[in-house]
Chain A
Amino acid sequence: MEKMSLNLEIIVIKDACFGNKTYIENGVLSINKEELIEEVKDLRFASIDFDIAKPGESTRIIPVKDVIEPRIKVETKGMFPGIFDNFSYCGIGTNKVLRGCCVTTAGKIMGFQEGIIDMSGPGAKYCHYSKLLNIVMIADPIEGLEPKEHEMAIRHMGLKASLYLAKAGLNVKPDYVETYCKEYVSPERKLPKIALAYLVMAQGLLHDNEVYGFCSRDIPPLLMHPNELWDGAIVSGNCVTASDKNTTYDIQNNAIAKELYERHNKDLEFCGMIVSPISTILEEKERNAMITVNLASQCEAEALIIPQEGGGNPEADLMLICECAEKRGIKTVLMLHDHPGVDGTAEPMINTSPLANAIVTVGNDSAQILLPEMEKNIGHREQLNLLSGSPSDCEQKKGSIKVGVSVIMGSTNNLGINCNSTEEI
């Protein structure tokens, strides 16, 4: 029996530009804009355009919906099983990855959430996407398009765009290869067995994810192989607060799964990954907590790392799983962002448990930050006041803005992809 093994052939993209042909040479991604627009064209959209934002530029992208890393599976020429790929090679085989760049979807706001990416300035410090070459798609819907259709359409257009770009990497020699295969760990080594309970938002319009093409609300907790995340098995349909949701990029690069993989057979054994939806219904939360812990138990997990997605309501899931696991002798570490209010004086959490004694916090997204005006705005700068986390006096002098850290994409990413945190003084 073969172990699941996936090769990621990494092509490092150092620069990007528009040109007559779409191809990659010497790390430069050249894009035929007309062809790309033709590829993603959808009659539900009155206008579609693309632009490029580079790290260090005085550029702001607003409102941002999703961010995707261009990847393509060599065996099928597809990606995202259940959406733009069939179900033959998920988690195995070889992918080409364009690293250093991303497709960022933007356009008129569809809900209150959505966020900004500043390519430089104080905002960039909080944002891991500011370090990437952003190939931005700006798509505005026709009049009267229902929000549900609007969201799903843009979601899939972004994925299509990323697949189109990744195709250019098919015959390009990679700069290096990452091989993901969980090797056998000898029991004699007595390495601690750690599992990941990866919770995905499943709370309705603009608060959903897609798992193998299914709506996340329609699945029970599943045992999944982390390689499947690298293959786009889970895609973000979640526009909940820009700071604390997981973009497709964050899922493709799940930081905790990566860290556990990195240390597998070194100082730990990465014994399993359970993907569980965060429902609005209490009974479902309780059911999913039990199934998650049962699956972790079957993986012989000695510890379970549990990141939330979003905040507030999902804290209930964290505590339910924590208590269920700890009572069964499985140690837990919770990951969340705390919210002690704008001035840091309020209680940092709303749901608690005396058993939750190990918590990693990725920051306070209620804290406010003053950001300067940018020379270039891609998208709809005038919609700043509609973003979730913009106070009513968000527009300040000379075009500068005062916003909650919550409007910055990924600033309090619960998967811990960056170093943001809080401390008590």
Chain B
Amino acid sequence: MRILYYINQFFAQIGGENSAYFPIEFREELVGPGNVLNSMLNNSEIVVTSICGDNYYVENEDAVIKKIAEAIEKYNVDLVIAGPAFNAGRYGIACGSVCKIAFDHQKIAVSALYEQNPGLDIYRKYAYIFPTERQARDMINALKKIATFVNKISKGNSIGLPEEEGYYRRGIRRNIFREKTGAERAVDMALAKVLNRPFKTEVPMPKFEKIIPSRPVKDLSKVKVALITSGGIVPKGNPDHLESLNSSKWVLYNEESFGGNYNKMNAEVVHGGYDPAYGNKNANRVLPADAMKELEKRNVIGEFYENVIVTVGNSMDIQRATKFGKEISQKLLSEGVQAVLITST
């Protein structure tokens, strides 16, 4: 496997705090701990070393992330290793961030941090992070842990549970095949419950963040209101290829997109999770832009924002929905919108 190895200015032997603003650079050679690490690897090699000052990373995060992503592409990288960062906070956070870049590009990321390093909690779900001691004198042990794990992956072996392999629990879920069928497991679990025997639920209840709702609108007749739908109403032909399930985007449309008239929309339903017959006959049933225009005319609302926002809610996971919500709010706020009406199915 081809590996990108990330270290900071200190471990690259450039300098200490005084070099914390060292700008990101890529070297097609082994640097610092990369020498020992590479010698421990079978079937893999470090093809590029990325070095960055801890402060430079934090203050130029977007640019640095872009450069690392480009390097992953350019060097045909299969796997990314960052650190070990022990208890160094800024370095640990940078390592975590590098791991997330790898994760976002569907590459395995491996790192090693002390359990109290702030980078661990923020980034643990994106990588296989191994425990280290507080101090850098644990370097050889930490590198050994990383190398052993990487060697196992490069042989094509499956990755075991955290308890088996030694990495910190990531808190993410992956598909597996169990020994017994779901039906057998369900009956076993029912019996255990009735007979007061111990059992383990396969999905613990998630804890949701408590969202504080915004204050109610005092006077709707003075407010610009936008219309959003997760019901997947798009212009006929679905020009933006909105997916019918697990939609990867939200799209802005206006009256023109639908043929020039919100009262008679040239549209179709692309949401795959409900009966589309009624929405296909009259899109206003799901996207009541006609009603919004009327409410504006009657000054019930101050103004109907000219664009509508469309996505498909079918099978959308909470994280993605949160991300979309944040992005859409930013856009609407920049357009002076103060309230939204959201329709679903």
Contacts and interface: CB of A to CB of B under 8 A. Distances in A.
Interface of A: 111-113, 125, 147-148, 192, 194, 203-207, 240-241, 255-256, 258-260, 263, 267-268, 280, 302-305, 307, 310-313, 331-333, 335-336, 338-350, 352-354, 356-367, 386, 388-392, 404-406, 413-425
A339 B173 CA distance: 9
Given A194-B190, A333-B186, A348-B173, A418 B243 contact: no
A345 B172 contact: yes
Nearest to A195: B190
A226 B173 CA distance: 34
A386 to B, nearest CB: 8
Contact of B245 (A302, A406, A416, A421): A406
B183 A424 contact: no
Pairs A-B, 3 closest by C-beta atoms:
A416-B182, A204-B275, A112-B272
Given A192-B191, A388-B245, A416-B183, A422 B320 contact: no
A404 B243 CA distance: 12
Interface in B163-214: 169-187, 189-191, 193-195, 199, 201-203, 205-206, 208
Contacts of A207: 274-275
Given A312-B315, A346-B317, A352-B206, A204 B171 contact: no
B241 interface: yes
Interface string B147-168: 0000000000001011000000
B277 interface: yes
B314 interface: yes
Nearest to B126: A345
B248 interface: yes
B175 A405 contact: yes
B104 to A, nearest CB: 9
B99 interface: no
A29 B190 CA distance: 40
Nearest to B232: A112
B176 A406 contact: no
A353 B205 CA distance: 7
A256 B202 CA distance: 17
A422 B201 contact: no
B162, B176, B187, B199 pick with most chain A CB within 10 angstroms: B187
13 contacts: A147-B277, A192-B195, A259-B183, A304-B190, A305-B190, A310-B273, A340-B317, A360-B186, A389-B246, A420-B175, A421-B182, A422-B174, A422-B203
B169 A255 contact: no
A361 B195 CA distance: 22
A241 B315 contact: yes
Contacts, number: 231
Contact of B246 (A310, A354, A391): A391
Contact of B179 (A313, A389, A390, A419): A419
Prevailing SS type, chain A contact patch: loop
Nearest to B240: A392
| Size category of the binding interface on chain B | 35 or more
A194 B202 CA distance: 20
Contacts of A310: 273
A395 B191 CA distance: 46
Contacts of A111: 272, 276
Contacts of B184: 259, 416
Given A241-B315, A357-B201, A359-B203, 14 more contacts: A112-B272, A255-B183, A303-B190, A305-B187, A333-B190, A352-B208, A360-B189, A361-B203, A363-B175, A389-B245, A415-B182, A417-B183, A423-B202, A425-B170
A421 B245 CA distance: 21
Contacts of B246: 342, 366, 389, 391, 404, 406
Contact of B178 (A338, A391, A421): A421
Contacts of B183: 255-256, 258-259, 415-417
A343 B187 CA distance: 30
Contacts of B282: none
B319 interface: yes
A338 B208 CA distance: 16
B172 A343 contact: yes
Nearest to A420: B177
B318 interface: yes
Contact of B317 (A255, A347, A415): A347
Contacts of B272: 111-113, 240-241, 388
B234 interface: no
Contacts of A241: 245, 272-273, 315
B280 to A, nearest CB: 9
A259 B170 CA distance: 34
